[in-house]
Amino acid sequence: MDDQELKKVYDYLLSCSIDKKQNIDAAYEKAQKTKANIFEILVNDKILKEEEATKIKADFLRIPYVSLKEKVIDEAVLRVIPEKAVMFYKFVPFEYDNNLLKVGMVNPDNFDALDALKFISIRHGISTKIYLISKGSFNTITKQYKTFGDELKNVLETVDKRIEHKEERGDKDKDKETQRITEEAPVSKVVDIIISHAVEGKASDIHIESSEKDLRVRYRLDGELHDSLILPKKLGPAVVSRIKILSNLKIDETRKPQDGRFRFNLSDHSGLGKSVDLRVSTFPTVNGEKVVMRILDTSSEIANLESLGIRLKALNIVKENIKKPFGIILITGPTGSGKSTTLYAILKLLNKEGVNVVTLEDPVEYYLEGINQSQVKPEIGYTFASGLRSILRQDPDIVMVGEIRDKETAELAMHAALTGHLVLSTLHTNNSVGVIPRLVDMGIESFLIGSALNIAIAQRLVRRICPYCKEEIQVPPEILASVEEEIKFIPEEQRNDVDISKGLKFYRGKGCKECKNSGSIGRVGIYEVLSMTPEMEKVIHAKVTDNDIEEETKRQGMITMKQDGIIKALLGMTSIEEVMRVTEE
């Protein structure tokens, strides 16, 4: 607090109805000499009680005041902000209602804390309102956090005792007893904590793996697996059985893999008040069953093409081609590269009144109002191929097929694209050029590919640099040389928003509290878009090699995924190491 600000506080204190004005003078003089906070001096010297001083400070700052010393916070509200962030930034959530989170702050003039709160607000899609609280109120709430932190430990102790008691009774009715334990509160609570923690941490998958010594829980965050919890090995069968019960799977079948699905309501376990779907897969291993749960947040907002990372010429090509009344649009890449998200972003643009849109998916990951979505069930013979035949009898304008896996589905999709339907689907190839030989391998004639294919979009996901700890770095000479060589082949209009006149600048995230020292928050796509032009159609009809097709893409001015990634690295969106990692042959 500088002298000018201190004088303002002093004048305000004199205007308040406080006994013994000479004490205010003494506190003011002490603050001038020591540069300490005058409100802390008033409390430490017992001139004012802590809550009284906090209330006066709140009035001076024109911030609402609240006392939390007698308040017990719902654990669902506490979950909205992690304990580490609470302790570091000295703020606590104390009420959540109608998408508004009320937060008590000890130091509302701490800009780092305000930035962190803004990040939390954006991350969860909620609004926040700041209240001034005393240190006493803050300590009251943090003790409740410690109680919440011990919750899992207490639950595990209870479960452990019950399982030990079961073993003492012998193996009689073992499966029945395991089911009984898993249906009761302790194991249910463990599973709830595992899922809630994953959803709040923005994980995409949960891996529950049994080893010789313990049960390990790992979360996939931004494409990488991270250890989260280590549980007692004895808990493994009970946790797996609980998940099987929720997924409507057979708990006594441990020899074969099983697949299921269930909905988890976070409003019962978190302050965010939403539901997520979990796709469950069990797999037998030598140490017990492994469970993987894919988190499908059907309530989350579907991204648009720009926010996904499709830019400039590639964005224009995509938007032009989705306006066409027929043809096929294929999105390609490995598992986990974001193909489905791109499909949904395109469907969001196409979903208009007067258009009949029908989808075949496995599974339905997002629900779109106004679109007829169907989930395939191969176990009853309802496959992509059989479903596509039925869809074509439903008079669709636009058809989305989750994936082209075989010749039959490919032929039906091509037929639909040539008979007046716009078809969207995915394919597994390494790049956009690989779409053409892949379709040929499936038995599709090259002349049909040239006539039916509109565009092929290849993509990968790279980690986005944390904006809170981004710093400029020097890259190794060999990488710099490789980048300079690639830039030579990027057309000027494809990099007109990148300033390289002063040299090539690259960045990384050094790690901070916001990104949990990972240096990254979220991911962004890198893309290449192959457009079916008359010239490209001639090349395909001539049945030439991949190299000839690549030469034609260069003539078109198409940039590769690697080149798109380099541009995003120069823009500070991702690191050059990430780009090299996902684009290496």
pLDDT of residue 163: 57
Against a cut of 0.85, is the pTM above it? no
- pLDDT on residue 183: 47
Give 275's strand partners. 265
Which SS3 state, helix, strand or coil, does residue 74 take? Answer: coil
pLDDT mean over 519-546: 89
Instruction: Indicate the SS3 state at residue 342.
Output: helix
What SS3 class is residue 27?
helix
In terms of Cβ atoms closer than 10 Å to its own Cβ (0-12, 13-18, 19+), residue 346 is buried
Give me the percent of the chain exceeding a pLDDT of 90.
52
The Cα-based distances of 135 to 40, 513, 562 in angstroms read 10, 22, 52
Where is mean pLDDT largest: 12-16, 349-353, 492-496? 349-353
Task: Calculate mean pLDDT across residues 298-312.
Answer: 85
Encoded tokens for 429: 């190839």
* pLDDT confidence tier of residue 332, bands split at 50, 70 and 90: very high
What whole-number percentage of the chain has pLDDT above 70?
90
Whether 266 contacts 295, CB under 8 Å: no
pLDDT at 453: 96
pLDDT tens, position by position, 199-208 = 877 889 999 9
pLDDT per residue over 225-236, tens digit each? 888 788 888 888
**DSSP 8-state symbol, 379:** G
Interval 100-117 mean pLDDT: 91
Q: Is the pLDDT reported for residue 172 higher than 60? A: no
568 pLDDT more than 50: yes
Residue 522: CB atoms within 10 A of its CB come to 14
Confidence bin at 174 (pLDDT 50/70/90): low
pLDDT range class, residue 104, cuts 50, 70, 90: very high
For residue 351, what are the contacts with CB-CB under 8 A and spacing of at least 6? 357, 368, 369, 370, 371
Nearest to 547 by CA among 456, 470, 395, 433: 433
Residue 388, token pair as written in the block: 């596509």
Residue 38 reports pLDDT greater than 80: yes
Q: What is the DSSP string of 279-326?
A: EEEEEEETTEEEEEEEEE-TTSPPPPHHHHT--HHHHHHHHHHTTSSS
Q: Is the pLDDT at 17 greater than 80, yes or no?
A: no
Q: What share of the chain is helix, strand, coil (3-state, %, to 5)?
A: 45, 20, 35
Tokens of 212: 């010789």
Q: Is the pLDDT of residue 158 over 80?
A: no
How far separated are the first and last CA of the chain, in Å rounded?
57
Q: What is the mean pLDDT of the chain?
A: 87
Label residues 237-247 b or e (16+ Cβ within 10 Å = b): bbbbbbbbbbb
Helix (H, G, I), strand (E, B) or coil at 215: strand
Nearest to 341 by CA among 523, 124, 559: 523
Task: Tell me the C-alpha distance between 490 and 467, whole Å.
Answer: 27
Residue 439 pLDDT greater than 80, yes or no: yes
For 458-516, the DSSP string reads EEEEEEEEPTTSEEEEPPPHHHHHHHHHHHTTS-GGGSTT---TT---EEEE---TTTT
Please provide the size of the chain in residues: 585
Q: What is the mean pLDDT of residues 235-239?
A: 88
Q: Confidence band (pLDDT; 50, 70, 90) for 219?
A: very high
Buried b (16+ CB within 10 A) or exposed e, 302-340: ebebeebbbbbbbbebbeebbeeebbbbbbbbeeebbbb
3-state DSSP assignment of residue 103: strand
Q: What is the mean pLDDT of residues 15-22?
A: 74
**Nearest to residue 94, comparing CAs of 112, 86, 59, 53?**
86
How far is CA 519 from each of CA 119, 120, 201, 311, 571, rounded to the nearest angstrom? 15, 17, 15, 24, 16
Which 8-state DSSP code applies to residue 559? P
If one compares 271 and 275, the residue with the highest pLDDT of the two is: 275
pLDDT value at residue 152: 64
pLDDT for 493 equals 84
In 3D space, the residue among 364, 361, 349, 373 whose CA is nearest the CA of residue 426 turns out to be 361
Assign 170 a pLDDT band (cuts: 50, 70, 90). Answer: low
Position 155 scores a pLDDT of: 66
The answer to whether 561 and 583 are in contact (CB under 8 A) is yes
* Strand 214-221, strand 224-232: pairing: antiparallel
Is residue 576 over pLDDT 70?
yes
Indicate the pLDDT class of residue 308, thresholds 50, 70 and 90: very high
pLDDT(190) > 90: no
> Which run of H or of E encompasses 585?
none
| C-beta of residue 514 within 8 angstroms of C-beta of residue 507 | no
More confident residue, 145 or 296: 296
Look at 77-81, 130-134, 444-448, 561-565 and tell me which has the smallest mean pLDDT.
77-81
pLDDT exceeds 60 at position 541: yes
CB atoms within 10 A of CB 258: 19
CA distance 493 to 297: 37
**300 contacts: CB under 8 Å, gap ≥ 6:** 366
Nearest to 318, CA basis, from 336, 327, 301, 305: 305
**pLDDT, position 182:** 47
Res. 161 pLDDT band, cuts 50 70 90? low
Q: Which residues contact 272 (CB under 8 A, 6 or more apart)?
A: 80, 124, 126, 199, 200, 266
Q: How many helices (H) and strands (E) in the chain?
A: 24, 18
